[in-house]
Amino acid sequence: MAAAAGDPWPAAAPRSSIPPAAGWVHPVGPPGGPAEVVNGFDPPEHAWSAGHRGVDLAATAGAEVRAAGPGTVTYAGPIAGRGVVVIDHGGLRTTYEPVTPTVGVGDEVGAGRPVGVLESAGSHCAPAACLHWGAREGERYTDPLALVGGGSVRLLPLGPRTLTGDPPPPPSQPPQSGGLAWPVAAPRITSPYGMRVHPITGEHKLHDGTDLAAACGAPIRAAAAGRVTDAGERGAYGLQLTVDHGRIHGAPLSTSYSHLSAFSVTAGQSVRAGQVIGRAGTTGLSTGCHLHFMLYAAGRVTDPVPWLPTASTAATSYLAKALREGYRR
């Protein structure tokens, strides 16, 4: 949040003195990153001067916002017309805006626990949506990206070009031929990506993935080769695992697999396409065993179906071939 005139807090610390902690996650996008930084940390020289006392992370309006680390909610409500959540981590506070809070003051939250839903009104990136994520050590603003191993990102007004002058990455449009493979053996969509009424909470919000039918304990497979960047308990998502696939058809892609009953791989492990990475379950906020499959393209959650084989080609995927050959593990 930008400080008001006369703000008694010192302007900022150049970097967090608290080293990145195991288990801390990005509040939007893939929990293990990478995140698309729209506006970096750019603190003013003086507390009363204009500056950017946090980072803006690209996201989709309606997306769930997560606690970056474990702590206690000390504020959840409107400030200057924007919804704000503040979490005290003990000597460090993080802030999230603009959000519609789903937590209350005094709630204990773990890293990755959903704390709100991203709003479009009040965004620093209007008309696009983004999360403004801030951090303070005591009364000094610091770069929140340092908490997840980043930090000191400075962006200049170079228009569509990058800081280095290189051309920007290509738009994250799904290719004509897909690019990913189905993570379950017999693909059947039970709830598509998009706005819906949540079957448990009754909220009208973004369903940020595609639900695929999967029996309890059924193998869940990597949609493409990559590296596991996160695996843990993630609140409403239950046991969630995220794989970074690097660039596929020119776009940086990560996939997440939620409500699992067990992991078959660990964070930091490389996986091949089709490798069993977990087992289907109903952990977290779930009505029954299934897979909640998410896709992040350039750090933004998007509909995974256009990146997957069409119904006519799904039968020839590596999963169908494996089943025909009697391969199960």
pLDDT in tens, 102-142: 999 999 999 989 999 999 887 777 777 889 999 998 878 88
pLDDT for res 74: 96
pLDDT in tens, 76-111: 999 888 899 999 999 899 999 999 999 999 999 999
pLDDT in tens, 12-61: 444 444 444 567 899 998 888 777 888 888 766 555 444 467 899 988 88
Quick one: DSSP state of residue 11?
S
What DSSP string runs through 94-161? EEEESEEESS-TT-EE-TT-EEEEE-STT-TTTTS-EEEEEEEETTEEE-GGGGGT---------TTS
Q: Which of 40, 140, 57 is nearest to 96 (CA)?
A: 57
pLDDT mean over 311-328: 42
Domain 189-324, classified CATH 3.30.70.100, yes or no? no
User: Which tops the pLDDT comparison, 195 or 3?
Assistant: 195
pLDDT in tens, 285-310: 899 999 999 999 887 889 999 999 98
Is 150 a residue whose pLDDT tops 80? Answer: no
186 phi and psi angles, rounded to 5 deg: -125, 85
Domain ranges of the chain: 1-168, 189-324
- Hey, how many other C-beta atoms are within 10 angstroms of the C-beta on 44? 17
Is 1 a residue whose pLDDT tops 80? Answer: no
CATH for 1-168? 2.70.70.10
Place of tokens 């990145």: 20
The span from the CA of 236 to the CA of 112, in Å, is 9
pTM over 0.95, yes/no: no
List alpha helices for the chain, DSSP H. 311-314, 318-324
Quick one: DSSP state of residue 61?
T
Q: Judge whether 168 and 241 are in contact, CB under 8 Å.
A: no
- At residue 183, the 3 state secondary structure works out as coil
- Hey, how many other C-beta atoms are within 10 angstroms of the C-beta on 133? 24
The span from the CA of 8 to the CA of 21, in Å, is 29
The answer to whether 1-168 and 189-324 have equal CATH topology is yes
Sign for the pseudo-dihedral over CA of 212, 215, 23, 92: positive
pLDDT mean over 57-69: 89
Q: Judge whether 162 and 156 are in contact, CB under 8 Å.
A: no
- Half-sphere exposure (CA, 13 Å, Cβ side) for 202? 0
